[in-house]
Structure 1
Amino acid sequence: MRLLCVVVIISFLAPDAVDGIWNIFDIKYWRCVMKNTDICPDKDIRFYMYTRESGTRRLRIDIRNHVSLEYSGFDPVKKNVIIIHGFNGTEAKTPMTILRNAYLSRTDYNIFTVDWKPLARFPCYLSALSNMKLVSQCTAKLYAFIMDHGGDARETTCVGHSLGAHICGMISNHLDLKQHKIVGLDPARPLINRYGDKYFRLTRDDAHQVQIIHTNAGVLGEVNQVGHVDFCVNGGTMQPGCKGHILRNYWSKV
């Protein structure tokens, strides 16, 4: 019963919690997926690539196919960015699409996105935490696949949001060499701040350059200095024009 209460409380941390609350009495709603495997690739973890030529039309990358990158327009001369969404996210929705389009406007990037939506769906926060290990392992194989086809590690950046930020850090656990640069966007805080060890969270040891951008620090986002450089936008806790999460607003009054 205590575990169920934790899951219910954590579920309210999701952006769509208010919209999804009416589904909590549907048994299908609670069918969380928890992976107990270390086999990659996995059907629930998909990789996509975007180029200036393809625009917003995503191209599926199969790391088992040695010509997959070539057919997708991969240019080894360009920089690379790997974008990873967080809990209750997907690569096809904001804020991931905003990041993707920003890099598309640069013209000098091969853009890769990691979609692990089936393993990170609301309200399954606890299973999403467990699934991060497999996602990081499989994404490390994507990273190695890019390097094997001419990518430059010094020109490759992993950008992760929420749980995705921690996955960026965990990728280094499966590589022989440390990553060059990681950008963490509001690394997730719930449970990780208390129970996540060094293996399970983003730290400055995971890359030569770790940059953190705090915009929602506090209840949902990490409050401590995580990287070599931490940016606190407008103070790092609340952004102009945002009404704030219902849980944050409640706790600020008690």
Structure 2
Amino acid sequence: MKSGTVLLQLLLGLLVLCKGQEESGDDELCDNFTDLNLSHCFMGTSLYVRLLLYTRSNLDCGREVNHHNLSSQPLFNLSRPTTFVIHGYRPTGAPPIWIDHLVHLLAEQEDMNIIVMDWNKGAANLNYFTAVTYTREAANNLTGFILTMEEEGASLSSVHLIGVSLGAHLAGFVGANLQGKIGRITGLDPAGPMFTSATADERLDPTDAMFVDVLHTDMNSFGLNGAHGHIDFYANGGADQPGCPKTIFAGKSYFVCDHQRSVFLYLCALNGTCSLSAQPCSSYSDFLDGRCLTCEAFKPAPCPLLGYDLNQWRETLLRLGQTKVFFSTTATLPYRKLSYRVDMVTWNQYLRWSVIYIKLHSGKNFTEARIDHKLFRLEQYTSTRLLAQFNDDLQSIQKITLRINTGNVIGPRYKIRLLRIRFTPLERPERPLLCRFDIMMEENREVTFRPLPCNSHL
């Protein structure tokens, strides 16, 4: 009985070993991302850079590449484009939970070399400032490797660096070392602490690559405020993200949720399940006010989409210079909201200040938009434009409910006459415009109506 147990343990051990081997039958074990723990962080780690190669033929089994002898790794094909994935500060020393997912999704975009830059020894320190000082040295290390690639025949324009948090600035340092000749840098919520007052050459900036795109999700905490690419995407204004904790009692999630959302939004965009369309605008408040609901500069292309393939917007963005684009998300997958431009004309005898609530109904289902980021001024003949964003996409709108909430609870309820209202679907231009004319409302009470076909004069 005992010998049977030992045999079973041996078989299980063999299965574990085989799991990390390539399907080709190669007996060589996989090279895994450095896994450290809190004890390493307390003691501090010294910088050591490893480069782990993944291709479509070894997606589940990384192969470490020699910094100076590229021919030692036959899977590394310099005729393919190469994407480097660069993580940030690792206060616990554990491998990033998103690495494998990102590698697989990048491989689906095109046939490329994917190299994970493992600088966990260096990034894993309880002292964040130590990790920051290592970014320059790590960038010099990666710069030397890319120069070796160029000497072996690779084109710098085919190199793409994806940097997360502190890794975004590390990528910028590499790009600056190479005089901005690499093809692209993607910065996912570039780190803010110790970079808020940095000059352009001390952080990621548009001159670091031929094209730089940046996603912001935590500008008021661990992320960096401002614009730092040819195009900067601001999710929900680039600061607080829906669904993330608002109090410190939530523990670790309170500190990292907004910052990490940049990675999860990017993964979702790569996966194709999130079509996150963004509007060019000077500020988030203007975006919410409905002042920036066209993408004329990019036509005939649509509004920019967050993700890997930005080629159809690239030429326009390089011509325009630094461009800010804004979008809103839900708290959970697939993150995408459905937006309508709402144009309405009201007539009321007395000046009223209000927020506005809109429900769209399809059968028994409905979805609601609360446009309450500010008070809207409604007077005798007021034309108001709103951006209404809904969590659910209801395809056939049968009824619409509107409530103009003035907060009046003690005085008489004043009448408000809605002369006309028009709903324009922004992400679904193939859908019809929805209109209604001449509706008598009472403040703070819902009115429900069926939308009608819009007339041409609207």
Contact 2:190 2:224 in 1 (8 A): yes
Matched letter for residue 200 of structure 2: K
Partner of 2:239: 237
TM-score under structure 1 length normalisation: 0.75
Deviation sequence 1:117-159 (CA, Å, 0-9, x none): 0101141201101111110000111211222233222221111
**In the aligned structure 2, how far is the partner of 1:115 from the partner of 1:239?**
28
**Structure 1 residues 32 and 105: alpha-carbon distance in aligned structure 2, compared to 1, 3 A threshold:** same
TM superposition shift of 1:247: 4.9
* Higher relative contact order structure (alpha carbons within 8 Å, sequence separation ≥ 6): 1
In structure 1, the residue corresponding to 2:175 is in which secondary structure? helix
Q: Map residues 168-207 of structure 1 onto 2, 5 A cutoff.
A: 168-175=171-178, 178-194=181-197, 196-207=198-209
**In the aligned structure 2, how far is the partner of 1:212 from the partner of 1:76?**
26
Partner of 2:141: 138
* In the alignment, structure 1 residue 246 sits paired with structure 2 residue 254: yes
Partner of 1:228: 230
* In the alignment, structure 1 residue 162 sits paired with structure 2 residue 170: no
Q: Map residues 83-162 of structure 1 onto 2, 5 A cutoff.
A: 83-88=85-90, 92-162=95-165
**Structure 1 residues 91 and 147: alpha-carbon distance in aligned structure 2, compared to 1, 3 A threshold:** farther
TM superposition shift of 1:34: 5.5
* In the alignment, structure 1 residue 54 sits paired with structure 2 residue 58: yes
**Structure 1 residues 247 and 241: alpha-carbon distance in aligned structure 2, compared to 1, 3 A threshold:** closer
Contact 1:91 1:114 in 2 (8 A): no
* In the alignment, structure 1 residue 45 sits paired with structure 2 residue 63: no
**In the aligned structure 2, how far is the partner of 1:138 from the partner of 1:233?**
33
Deviates more, 1:235-244 or 1:112-121: 235-244
Matched letter for residue 126 of structure 1: F
Partner of 2:288: none
TM superposition shift of 1:57: 0.6
Deviating 4+ runs (over 6 angstroms): none
Contact 1:34 1:127 in 2 (8 A): no
Deviation sequence 1:76-130 (CA, Å, 0-9, x none): 3322101100000779432333321211222411101101101011412011011
**In the aligned structure 2, how far is the partner of 1:33 from the partner of 1:107?**
36
Consecutive unaligned residues of structure 2, counting only runs of 5 or more, are 1-36, 247-252, 258-458
Q: How many residues align?
A: 214
Contact 1:34 1:128 in 2 (8 A): no
TM-score under structure 2 length normalisation: 0.43
In structure 1, the residue corresponding to 2:116 is in which secondary structure? strand
**Structure 1 residues 105 and 247: alpha-carbon distance in aligned structure 2, compared to 1, 3 A threshold:** closer
Higher strand share: 2
The structure with the larger Rg is: 2
